[in-house]
């Protein structure tokens, strides 16, 4: 079948939004600036998803920490971090410097976040459960607080880069492209830890000498101890390598972007008042409810896919299971990358709400089919799940920020303030609240499924419960997200009306903005 692009697709009939206001059409960004901001998405993906994907297998399978303690150790830092987001958003909104409201925090946060990532896995394998738990909570708290300093201003900066309805989706596309590129590697991190640990142990045991041998001397005693699992040895090198990657990919957003909104005359905003007004926005509440349900469902799949591969498909073979977990994640990343190009094109043809609802429906149906797609002897079938879920969810991850930018316009029209920081913060608050809930419950889910910490196998009954949970819980959450988002009302036409009104108010000059409401 041959597909052709007809010239009529470029007409007003196909793209009625092409008659949007000149101020909106002119809000185009240089590609280099989109890439610079989008690089933060690569850093974010490596930092957060890298930490998430490694934490459970390293501490649960590697260190042997109990599943319940794992859940609490993951949840407590997230709970503390969740409370810090609105504070950071308000600080950023009220910041005034010659470098802008956002970029100084992005710059400082990049260094602190990278440091927090590196130290997160430096626990000793000789510690008991209490010491491991305390270390995980302390370092996790430090990492997530430093991540807040970076992420809240970074996300707010992305909302302010353009006022164009379609360009907002295109800006998020660059973040998604680079985040998808990072996602190719993140699923392989556990496998890389295994391979790195095996290499270090083999080098130390061989007694050979090489120019890079000094790197392994600090770990020589640990490498010679067979009671220390190789992933625990490997993570001590992988974590710091990833910290360098996190730093180098976070800095361009601070160094090579430009803040366009001038708010020097805007009154200082009090946190509680600003937060109350943000939460009164109906469109914002609907968006937050949708993303909460999506994350509550999707967060389980990636980690539980590791357990399904190791214990169901490969009978406890960690190397083979980690390899196919890597293939699964890479396939999902490829689909997400393809989605980053397809979704902005679909947005120019259809409304953003239609696109995101279709993506969620595709993902929900495919996840139910995972019962048939995880099959021993046929590991490649899981790639079907990865491709369709990645394609469907790409619409959610890409368009969330675009919807948020539209909501900020609606809020500006209602109250006369630019509060991208507080909206980004509360949006991040909801996302982290979902992750916190997942972290609290994840250990109990593993216990319910029947996995014993540190074990090299699972019972047939436990494997059945694992497969049922993967197939049913995430899909139910996505259906709930679709029901919630069906009530969202900011269409293309409504956003255009809002922006025309904002342009008219700005043209009228000071005193016509209604600020202070």
Tokens of 187: 């699923």
pLDDT per position as a tens digit, 369-397: 999 999 999 999 999 999 999 999 988 88
**Whether domain 30-255+271-501 has CATH 1.10.1200.10:** no
Percent pLDDT > 70 in the chain is 89
CB 260 within 8 A of CB 398: no
- Rounded CA-CA distance 453/307 in Å is 12
Helix (H, G, I), strand (E, B) or coil at 499: helix
In our burial notation (b when 16+ CB lie closer than 10 A, e otherwise), range 484-513 reads bbeebebebeebbebbeebeeeeeeeeeeb
pLDDT digits (tens, 9 = 90+) for 263-288: 555 555 555 666 676 777 888 889 99
Going by pLDDT thresholds of 50, 70 and 90, the confidence category of residue 261 is low
Least confident of 89-93, 377-381, 478-482, 512-516: 512-516
CB 418 within 8 A of CB 98: no
**pLDDT at 115 > cutoff 80:** yes
Is the confidence at residue 109, as pLDDT, over 60? yes
CA distance 259 to 97: 11
CA distance 51 to 118: 10
Task: Give the confidence band of 4 by pLDDT, cuts at 50, 70, 90.
Answer: very low
- How far apart are the C-alpha atoms of 135 and 128, rounded to whole Å? 11
* Alpha carbons 318 and 105: distance in angstroms, whole number: 40
Domain extent listing, the chain: 30-255+271-501
The pLDDT, as a whole number, for residue 315 is 87
């Amino acid at each position: 079948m041959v597909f052709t692009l007809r010239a009529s697709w470029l007409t007003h009939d196909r793209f009625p939004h092409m008659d949007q206001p000149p101020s909106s059409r002119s809000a185009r960004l240089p590609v280099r600036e989109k890439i610079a901001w989008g690089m933060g998405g690569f850093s974010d993906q490596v930092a957060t998803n890298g930490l998430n994907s490694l934490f459970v297998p390293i501490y649960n399978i590697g260190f042997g920490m109990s599943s319940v303690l794992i859940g609490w150790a993951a949840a407590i830092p997230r709970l503390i971090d969740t409370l810090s987001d609105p504070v950071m958003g308000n600080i950023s909104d009220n910041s005034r410097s010659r470098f802008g409201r956002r970029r100084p925090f992005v710059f400082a946060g990049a260094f602190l976040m990278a440091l927090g990532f590196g130290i997160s896995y430096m626990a000793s394998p000789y510690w008991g459960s209490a010491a491991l738990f305390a270390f995980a909570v302390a370092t996790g708290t430090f990492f997530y607080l430093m991540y807040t300093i970076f992420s809240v201003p970074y996300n707010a900066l992305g909302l302010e880069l353009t006022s164009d309805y379609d360009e907002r989706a295109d800006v998020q596309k660059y973040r998604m492209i680079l985040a998808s590129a990072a996602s190719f590697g993140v699923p392989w991190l556990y496998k890389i830890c295994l391979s790195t640990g095996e290499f270090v142990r083999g080098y130390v045991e061989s007694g050979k000498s090489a120019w890079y041998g000094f790197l392994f001397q600090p770990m020589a005693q640990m490498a010679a101890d067979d009671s220390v699992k190789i992933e625990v040895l490997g993570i001590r090198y992988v974590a710091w390598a990833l910290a360098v990657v996190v730093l180098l990919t976070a800095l361009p957003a601070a160094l090579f972007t430009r803040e366009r909104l001038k708010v020097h005359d805007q009154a200082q905003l009090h946190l509680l008042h600003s937060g109350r007004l943000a939460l009164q926005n109906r469109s914002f509440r609907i968006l937050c409810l949708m993303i909460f349900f999506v994350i509550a469902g999707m967060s389980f799949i990636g980690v539980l896919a590791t357990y399904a591969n190791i214990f169901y498909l490969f009978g406890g073979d960690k190397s083979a299971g980690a390899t196919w977990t890597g293939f699964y994640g890479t396939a999902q990343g490829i689909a997400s990358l393809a989605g980053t190009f397809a979704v902005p094109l679909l947005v120019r043809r259809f409304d953003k709400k239609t696109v995101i609802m279709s993506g969620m429906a595709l993902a929900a149906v495919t996840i139910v089919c995972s019962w048939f797609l995880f099959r021993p002897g046929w590991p490649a079938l899981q790639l079907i799940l990865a491709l369709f879920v990645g394609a469907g969810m790409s619409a959610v991850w890409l368009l969330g920020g675009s919807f948020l930018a539209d909501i900020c316009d609606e809020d500006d029209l209602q109250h006369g303030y630019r509060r991208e920081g507080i909206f980004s913060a509360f949006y991040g608050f909801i996302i982290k609240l979902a992750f916190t809930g997942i972290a609290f419950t994840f250990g109990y889910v593993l216990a319910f499924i029947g996995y014993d910490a540190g074990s090299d196998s699972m019972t047939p009954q436990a494997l059945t419960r694992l497969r049922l949970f993967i197939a049913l819980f995430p899909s139910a959450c996505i259906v709930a997200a679709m029901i919630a988002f069906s009530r969202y009302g900011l269409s293309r036409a409504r956003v255009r009306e809002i922006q025309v009104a904002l342009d008219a108010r700005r043209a009228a000059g000071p005193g016509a903005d209604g600020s202070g409401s």
